[in-house]
Amino acid sequence: MTPLPGLPTGATDPCVHCGFCLPTCASYRALGTEMDSPRGRIHALKAIEAGEQQLDAVTASHFDSCLGCFACVTACPSGVRYDALLEATRPKLNAPELRNPAQRAFRRLLFALLPYPQRLRTALAPLRGYAGGGLQQLARRSGLTGLLGPQLQALEQLLPPLSPEGFADRWPVVVPAVEPRRARVGLVLGCVQRVFDPGVNGAAVRVLTANGIEVVIPPQQGCCGAVTHHQGEEAQTQQLARDLINSFDAVVGPGKAAGPEPLDAVLVAASGCGHTLKGYGRILNSSAGEGFAAQVRDIHEFLADLGLSDDFQRQLQPLPHGDGTPANQNRPLRVAVHDACHMLHGQGIQAQPRQLLRQIPHLELREPLEAGVCCGSAGIYNLVQPQEAASLGRLKADDLAATQADCVASANIGCSLQIRRHLTEAQHPQTVAHPIELLDRSYSAGTQRR
Ligand code: SF4
Ligand code: SF4
| CA-CA-CA-CA dihedral for 37, 38, 43, 49, to nearest 10 | 130
**Is 71's C-beta closer than 6 angstroms to any atom of ligand 2?**
yes
Pick the residue whose CA is nearest to atom 4 on ligand 2: 66
Pick the residue whose CA is nearest to atom 2 on ligand 1: 76
Which ligand approaches the C-alpha of residue 14 most closely? 1
Pick the residue whose CA is nearest to atom 3 on ligand 1: 76
| Residue 90 contacts residue 63 (beta carbons within 8 Å) | yes
Compute the distance from residue 99 Cα to the ligand 2 centre, in Å. Answer: 20
Distance CA 217, CA 198 (A): 14
Q: Which of 8-17, 174-183, 239-248 has the lowest mean pLDDT?
A: 8-17
| CA-CA-CA-CA dihedral for 83, 86, 87, 88, to nearest 10 | 130
Confidence at 141, pLDDT banded by 50, 70, 90: confident
Q: What percent of the chain has pLDDT over 90?
A: 89
Instruction: Inform me whether the pLDDT recorded for 52 exceeds 70.
Output: yes
Distance CA 113, CA 111 (A): 5
Q: Which pLDDT score, from 0 to 100, does residue 260 have?
A: 97
Confidence at 18, pLDDT banded by 50, 70, 90: very high
Pocket of ligand 1 (CB under 6 A): 15-21, 38-39, 42, 72, 75-76, 78, 80
**Is 190's C-beta closer than 6 angstroms to any atom of ligand 2?**
no
Instruction: Inform me whether the pLDDT recorded for 324 exceeds 90.
Output: no
312 backbone dihedrals φ, ψ, rounded to 5°? -60, -45
Distance CA 227, CA 413 (A): 12
Compute the distance from residue 256 Cα to the ligand 2 centre, in Å. Answer: 44
CA 303 to chain centre: 19
Q: Which of 20-34, 123-137, 212-226 has the lowest mean pLDDT?
A: 123-137
Instruction: Inform me whether the pLDDT recorded for 211 exceeds 80.
Output: yes
pLDDT tens digits, residue range 261-307?
A: 999 999 999 999 999 999 999 999 999 999 999 999 999 999 999 99
Query: Which of 18, 27, 45 to probe ligand 1 with, by most ligand atoms within 8 A of CB?
Result: 18
Instruction: Inform me whether the pLDDT recorded for 332 exceeds 90.
Output: no
Distance CA 362, CA 328 (A): 13
